[in-house]
Amino acid sequence: MLDGLTCPDSDDERPYENDNLSNNIDEVDYPPNNYEYRRRDIVVVVVGIVTYFLDWGFDILTAHTHWRNKDVIWFTLTVLFLSVPSLVVTFVSLSWYIKDIANENTPKASVNRWVVRSVMLIFQLGPLLRYVDSLMYGVVSRSIGRRGNREMQKEYYSKMLYEEGDAVLLRLFECFMEAAPQLVLQLYILTQQPDSEKYGRTWGARVSAMVLFASRFRLYLLAVCAAHWFLMVIWFMARRSFSDTCPRLLGEWLLSFLFAAVHIFTFINDKDEPTLKKYIAFYTICGIENIAMVVLWLIYANPSIWYYIPGVVFHFFSFFLGITCMVAYYKFLHPTVLPTHIVRDEGMLRQQVDSPAAV
């Protein structure tokens, strides 16, 4: 999970994989497809760019709607839930670029390159820049591969993988630090409207429990989230989850704070090790929290509201459906074959050179 993650407090460069495993074994975290950048890969990146803009567009439209309706509190909270996670993601992206400067084995980026980075980061578009870099590296790798230059094809394909990995990780942080809290907020606002029944019921188990609880207890939900966040921080630090990634204690704390925020909504494996016990522990904690929130809501909510029973039924149905799908995935679909042979070029470190899109 953390293979592409640089500790905010570390000067270490990220490793650089330079070979591939057999294509007939389903492996993860290694260059796939024999370093061939396919058209479908281009489509996936383009879809990621489009969804990134759509996410921002819908957030801005939602904030504008609250402002137009003179709902100052909802407007302020919407903007706050949008801007704070975006600043965190920008800081993480910038820290990766800065650590590359400190790495003497990494070529220095040109002035033009830094101008593009600065502009994109100022406008909170860090993931978009990495998407574009990934796309350009992939296209170059595809073009070079067609000319028969295998070594350069591998090099640019590996650069594409790292940029794509960074983009995905940034979007992951943004998803659970911005999109998930934003969803809770907007669904809570809908429950306060007299015509809320006409809106679709597309709530997940965790989100539905939070929305139901917030509809009655409001700001007490922040206390629940803060307690869960603190518990996750202690969990990470007690297990020294990021000690291999961060040589300094400050870096471990920073990553623990960040990942704990994500764990308010979902589990992310923090290190490459057996996950069964961690999944059981995490979802047991979340299950207890969800049940407590739903039960308290049932006790104190008005039984006449339209979602009094449907909300509870949907919560438990979605929770057990999610657990069932997860068990089925790890039982039948998740790769379980461990790598038996990894070829590494010890003289090859990750290089960040000017992207064709940035000059």
Q: Please tell me the distance from the alpha carbon of residue 215 to that of residue 307, in angstroms, as a whole number.
A: 11
| Lowest-confidence pick of 21-25, 38-42, 93-97 | 21-25
Please report the sign of the dihedral spanned by the C-alpha atoms of residue 148, residue 154, residue 157, residue 159: negative
- pTM: predicted TM-score of the whole model, two decimal places: 0.59
Q: Please tell me the distance from the alpha carbon of residue 224 to that of residue 265, in angstroms, as a whole number.
A: 12
For 214-266, give the DSSP string: HHHHTTHHHHHHHHHHHHHHHHHHHHTTTTTT-SSHHHHHHHHHHHHHHTTT-
Q: Please tell me the distance from the alpha carbon of residue 129 to that of residue 56, in angstroms, as a whole number.
A: 15
The full set of domain ranges for the chain reads 33-333
Helix or strand or coil: residue 301?
A: coil
**Amino acid at the residue 315:** H
Cα distances (Å, whole numbers) of residue 355 to 104, 156, 157, 358: 19, 10, 13, 5
Mind listing the pLDDT tens digit for each residue in 127-138?
Answer: 888 899 889 988
Residue 61 sits at the vertex; the CA angle it makes with 265 and 183, to the nearest 5 degrees, is 15
Please report how the helices 72-102 and 150-174 are oriented relative to each other, as an axis angle in degrees rounded to 10.
150
Burial class (CB in 10 A: 0-12, 13-18, 19+), 129: buried
Residue 229, CB half-sphere, CA atoms under 13 Å: how many? Answer: 15
Q: 330: which DSSP letter?
A: I
Residue 179, CB half-sphere, CA atoms under 13 Å: how many? Answer: 18
Confidence of residue 31 (pLDDT cuts 50, 70, 90): low
For residue 70, how far is the Cα from the chain centroid?
33
Confidence of residue 107 (pLDDT cuts 50, 70, 90): low
Q: Which two tokens stand for residue 187?
A: 């669904």
Confidence of residue 103 (pLDDT cuts 50, 70, 90): low
More confident of the two residues 357 and 303: 303
Residue ranges in the chain assigned as alpha helix (H): 39-68, 72-102, 111-122, 126-146, 150-174, 180-191, 205-217, 220-239, 249-262, 276-300, 308-328
Mind listing the pLDDT tens digit for each residue in 210-224?
Answer: 888 888 888 888 899
Cα distances (Å, whole numbers) of residue 72 to 69, 78, 169, 178, 196: 8, 10, 33, 19, 20
Quote the pLDDT of residue 343.
37
Q: Which long-range contacts (CB under 8 A, 24 or more apart) does 216-225 make?
A: 216/296, 216/297, 216/300, 216/301, 217/296, 217/297, 217/300, 221/184, 224/289, 224/293, 225/264
Helix or strand or coil: residue 16?
A: coil
Q: Please tell me the distance from the alpha carbon of residue 222 to that of residue 240, in angstroms, as a whole number.
A: 27
Confidence of residue 230 (pLDDT cuts 50, 70, 90): very high
